[in-house]
Amino acid sequence: MDREFAQRLGSTRASPTSSPQRHRGGRSSRHGSPRKSGVREGDRFIPHPSSVARNAERPLLHSPSGSPRRAAQQQRQDASPETGGSGGLRGLLVQNELLGADIRRMPDPAASNTQSSRSPQPAPLSPPRSSSKRVLSFSAPSPHTHPKDDAYSLSPVGRSSRRLLSSPRRAQRPIPKTPFKVLDAPDLVDDFYLNLLDWSATNTVAVGLDSNVYLWSALTSQVTRLCDVAEAMSRPRNTVTSVSWSKNGAHLAVGTAEGLLQIWDVARSEVVAQYEHTHSRVGSLAWSSSTLAAGSRDRAIRLYDRRQPEAATPSLVGHRQEVCGLQWSPEESTLASGGNDNKLLVWDVRALGVAHRFTQHKAAVKAVAWSPHQHGLLASGGGTADQTIRFWNTLTGQPLQTVQTESQVCNIAWSRTSNELVSTHGYSQNQIIVWKYPSMTRLGVLVGHTQRVLYLALSPDNQTIVTGAGDETLRFWHVFSKGTAGKDTRSPLSVMAQIR
C-alpha cells in the first residue's frame, strides 16, 4: 500500500477524536493562522467561501498564449463563416441568444476578410452592473418589438436570431482557377519593359511575336498575320516592341525596336501613318480618342494627333530613364506615365507639363491604371525591388494606400463594371491576383504560367482577360462578373472631349 495513502487513511480514521471546531469552521491551522484557501478533510477538499468569491470574479473565457502563427490561424477560423467562430452563423446565433447581442444580418465577407488581420475584441460576458439597481422596476417596451411576440413564438430562438437566419447571405463570387483557352505564342519576348499584347473593341487580340504582328479573332478563332516590320522596312534586326488598339478598334499602332511607329488600318491591311522621330525603341503606347502617346527609351513621350498627321509633334520630357508604362485618364485630359527611373508622373496635357510627381516606388513602374469608377484615382505597381501596388489621389497629389504583393508587379487593369482590379506578377510568384477595392482583399489567385506574366489585356465585355508570359503562351481567364458599364466620366464641358 502506498505510504501517502496510508497516512491519509490513518488521518481520516482518527478524525472523530479531533476538535469539532477545526472540522466545522476550518479556521485554524497547525501554526494558528486562519486558512483562506479551504480545509482538507482526508480525501475531500472543502473550499473557503472567500476563495470561491475570488474565482467567481475571474473571467471564464481566456485566450491561451501561443505562437503568432497559431493566433493568426485562430483569427482566420473565427472570421470564416464556414466555422463555428464568432464570424460564422453559429457564432452570431450564440451571441444573440447567450450574450444578448442584437445581430440581424450576416456581415459582408469582404469586410470580414479585411478585419481578420486585426486582433478580435472579445464580447463582454455580462452587461456592466449598475451601482443603483432597481429591482422589479417598470420599463416601457421597445417600439420595434411586441411584448407578445417572443412569449407566443414557437421558435427556439429570439426575434433577432430569426431575422439573422432569414437574412440573405452574400456568397463570394467564384473565380475559375484554370484558363479556359491556351494559345501558343512562339517568340514572345520575355522583356519587362515591352507591351506586346492588346484586345480591341471589335474583339480582336493583337500580339507582337519577334518582328511579326498577329491578330486572333475571338469571334471566329481565326489567326491573321498583319505585318512583318523587318521585311517591310528591310531591317532584319527590327522587332516589334509595343502594340495598342485605338478606341474604336479600327486602327492598330505598332512600335518597333529601331524607333519606327506605324498606324495600321486593320480592315484594309495598310499603313495609314508612319513616324520615325527617334532611334530608340518605342516600348509603350496609349490611345485617347484622337491622340496617340508613345513612350520610348530616349526618355521622351511624344503625342501624335491622328487627325493631323503632318502637324508638329509635342514631346513630354520628365523621366530620366526609359518610359515603360502609359495610360490616359478616362476624361482624356491627363496622362500617367511610369519609367525605369522608379518615378510615376501625371501630366497635364493641355499645359504640356507635370502636374504631379510621385517618387515612392523603389523599382521600375510599368503597371499604371486609372479607376473608371472614381475620378482622379490612379493605381501603379513597382518592379522586383518594390513589389507594391500604390493608389494615388491625383486631384490633391496625395498617396492613398499601399499593398505589399510579395512579387514583381507587371500589369494592373480595373474592371469597368465593379470596383475590382486584377494584377499580374513576375518574380517570384508568376501569378494573377484579383482584388476587391478599397479593402484590397484577394478574391482569387490564378496560377498557370511558368514564367513572368508580363502582358495583360481586358476583353471588351469586361469579363475575360488574356495574359502572356515568357513561357510563350497566351492564356484566357474569366475573372470579372458581367454587369453594366459605368457612365462616361468625361465632362460635357471638357474642351478636349468636344473637339472633332
Q: CB–CB of 189/239 below 8 Å?
A: yes
Residue type, 194: L
Q: What is the DSSP string of 26-78?
A: ----TTSPPPSSEEEETTEEEE-HHHHHHHHHS-S-------HHHHHHHHHHH
Kindly report the pTM of this predicted structure.
0.68
Is residue 224 classed as helix, strand or coil in its secondary structure? strand
Does 77 reside within a domain? Answer: no
Residues 235 and 375 in one domain: yes
Does 439 reside within a domain? Answer: yes
Q: What is the DSSP string of 468-484?
A: EETTSEEEEEE-S---P
Residues 185 and 164 in one domain: no
| Residues listed for the chain | 500
What pLDDT is attached to residue 105?
Answer: 74
Q: Running along the chain, 500 residues long, what does each successive block of 10 average in pLDDT?
A: 56 45 43 48 59 48 44 47 55 79 69 44 45 54 53 74 72 88 95 96 96 96 94 82 96 95 94 90 94 95 85 88 96 95 95 95 97 96 96 96 96 95 94 96 94 96 95 96 60 47
Kindly report the CATH number assigned to the domain that includes residue 474.
Answer: 2.130.10.10
Residues 167 and 216 in one domain: no
Does 341 reside within a domain? Answer: yes
Distance in angstroms (rounded) separating the CA atoms of residues 18 and 39: 14
Distance in angstroms (rounded) separating the CA atoms of residues 405 and 170: 27
What pLDDT is attached to residue 165?
Answer: 74
Q: Which long-range contacts (CB under 8 A, 24 or more apart) does 352-361 make?
A: 352/314, 352/316, 354/318, 355/394, 355/397, 356/392, 356/394, 356/397, 357/318, 358/390, 358/392, 358/399, 360/390, 360/399, 360/402, 361/386, 361/388, 361/390
Residues 166 and 234 in one domain: no
Q: Which domain holds residue 211?
A: 181-484+491-498
- Per the structure, the count of domains in the chain is 2
